[in-house]
Amino acid sequence: MPRYIAFCLFLFCSTWASGQIRLPNVLSSNMVLQRNATVQLWGWASPGEKIKVFIPWSNTTDSVVTTRDATWNLSVKTPAAGGPYTITLQSRNIIRLENVLIGEVWVCSGQSNMEWSGNHGLKDIKAELPVCADANIRFFQIPKTTAAYPQDDCPAKWTACDSTTLKSFSAVGYFFGRQLKKELNVPIGLINTSWGGTPAEVWTPAPEVENDPVLKEAATKLSPSSGWPHTPGNTYNAMIAPLTRFRIAGAIWYQGESNTGTAGTYTKLLTTMIGSWRKTWQQDFPFYLVQIAPFRYGPGTLKGALLREAQTAVLTYPRTGMTVITDLVDDTTNIHPQNKHDVGARLANLALADTYGKQGIIYRYPLYEKMEKKDGRIIVYFSHAEDGLKIRGDKATAFFIAGADRQFVPADVKVDGNKVIVSAKGVKQPEAVRFGFGNSEIGNLFSKSGLPAGPFRTDHWEEQ
């Protein structure tokens, strides 16, 4: 009899446990929910289970019944900002999500320059540690994980920003979020889902790559490494898919170094990735990227320049933006520039102006618009240089000009308002101008407001 009773108790407890409410880790205490939005609360329980949810900011109780697939979903409207709140879910068990804030939520993704943190010896993070504690900045740090198929959960938790949690969090993400918090005066939630060395293919759903002949062929040219995945979709499945029901404000992206070998298809790849994320999230959110920094990739190739050109071309895709960081590099032999503070700040300025409509913020870098050949010179016109251009230093650097022979030589440069007049004594009939168009070229042309001009070329001559 005792064994029979024990067996019955086991069955009872198992049945009871199987009926309990379960939540994905992204829905947990200390989280930040997107403000002024309809957000989703979801999870699992036994089919037919009625779940009551108390929403504290509206002082209401909603209910939902679990489907035959043992899943449930509840749509909830959030207020302008605030907290902390406690959301209570009740069925056979009770779950209390405590210390919940309402604010702005951003995804931070990419490869090592997004991943880089205080654990990598960054001086600007070391200086932040004694003063960084802020209960209104929250981190959701997703560990490096892969999966063959899209997952519905990930092993992470929400934490408040302090000297311990900041050490391992994205420096770019932190400085981006810190500035948003300062300027918007609302809580900020940052989701770091990045992995050093990863090509963009692994962050893109596999079918999007495999069903496109151009992208599929380019993916076969990736160089496998023992340090990071290269199979299309593998990090998307494990590190992006679990988030796609969680409402966000937008995404920032710092990646590209691992795709320099296939720069010719990168524009298509990244816009495909952006579109697939937005489709799965069911949100047309803004997507802001960092143009990769100058770096000595080796002689005989312009793959770094070509990748930066491909990133610039992404800007024709809706609701995208980019920041240029050529002036933030002090060592072109280091693929990880140490200045992450200003990278995050420039991304924040982009978001503050473009997403949040803040006025008076300098965020657009001078961008090549068109050229005109006249009297043995080439006149280069720029957009986003309404206040004029300037050379920082005594003489312009990284400008080159060529004739029909396609032999580029250093150019003489004169700035005239938002135009640049380029010439060279040995080039009587110029055909093309290039600025900063090299792996490690660093130019010194800036807007008068202080942002560097983006690297460009006026030609379309084939390069390797």
Distances (CA, A) of 100 to 78, 137, 176, 301, 335: 12, 12, 21, 51, 38
C-alpha 385/C-alpha 387 separation (Å) is 5
Listed residues 74, 101, 128: the one ending a domain:
101
How does pLDDT run along the chain (464 residues), one tens digit per residue?
454 444 333 333 443 445 799 999 999 999 999 999 999 999 999 999 999 999 999 999 999 999 999 999 999 999 999 999 999 999 999 999 999 999 999 999 999 999 999 999 999 999 999 999 999 999 999 999 999 999 999 999 999 999 999 999 999 999 999 999 999 999 999 999 999 999 999 999 999 999 999 999 999 999 888 899 999 999 999 999 999 999 999 999 999 999 999 999 999 999 999 999 999 999 999 999 999 999 999 887 899 999 999 999 999 999 999 999 999 999 999 999 999 999 999 999 999 999 999 999 999 999 999 999 999 999 999 999 989 999 999 999 999 999 999 999 999 999 999 999 999 999 999 999 999 999 999 999 999 999 999 999 999 999 85
C-alpha 178/C-alpha 348 separation (Å) is 9
| Same domain, residue pair 60 and 129 | no
Q: What is the pTM of this model?
A: 0.95
| Same domain, residue pair 94 and 194 | no
Q: Could you give the number of structural domains in the chain?
A: 3
- Domain of residue 32 covers 2-101
227-279 pLDDT, tens digit per residue, is 999 999 999 999 999 999 999 999 999 999 999 999 999 999 999 999 999 99
| Same domain, residue pair 302 and 374 | no
Q: Which two tokens stand for residue 253?
A: 């992206």
The closest alpha carbon to 324, from 206, 207, 128, 456, belongs to 456
CATH of the domain at 161: 3.40.50.1110
| Same domain, residue pair 161 and 266 | yes
| Same domain, residue pair 237 and 92 | no
C-alpha 399/C-alpha 303 separation (Å) is 18
C-alpha 310/C-alpha 307 separation (Å) is 5
| Same domain, residue pair 230 and 124 | yes
| Same domain, residue pair 408 and 313 | no
| Same domain, residue pair 406 and 445 | yes
- Cα end-to-end span (Å), the chain: 80
| Same domain, residue pair 283 and 425 | no
The closest alpha carbon to 369, from 448, 458, 437, 267, belongs to 458
Q: Which helix (H) or strand (E) holds 389?
A: strand 389-391
C-alpha 176/C-alpha 191 separation (Å) is 12
| Same domain, residue pair 91 and 127 | no
437-459 pLDDT, tens digit per residue, is 999 999 999 999 999 999 999 99
Q: Look at phi and psi of residue 121 and say left if phi exceeds 0, alpha if psi is from -120 to 50, else beta.
A: left
C-alpha 27/C-alpha 51 separation (Å) is 16
| Same domain, residue pair 247 and 118 | yes
| Same domain, residue pair 305 and 407 | no
At 314 the three-state DSSP class reads helix
The residue type at 243? L
The closest alpha carbon to 270, from 284, 256, 250, belongs to 256
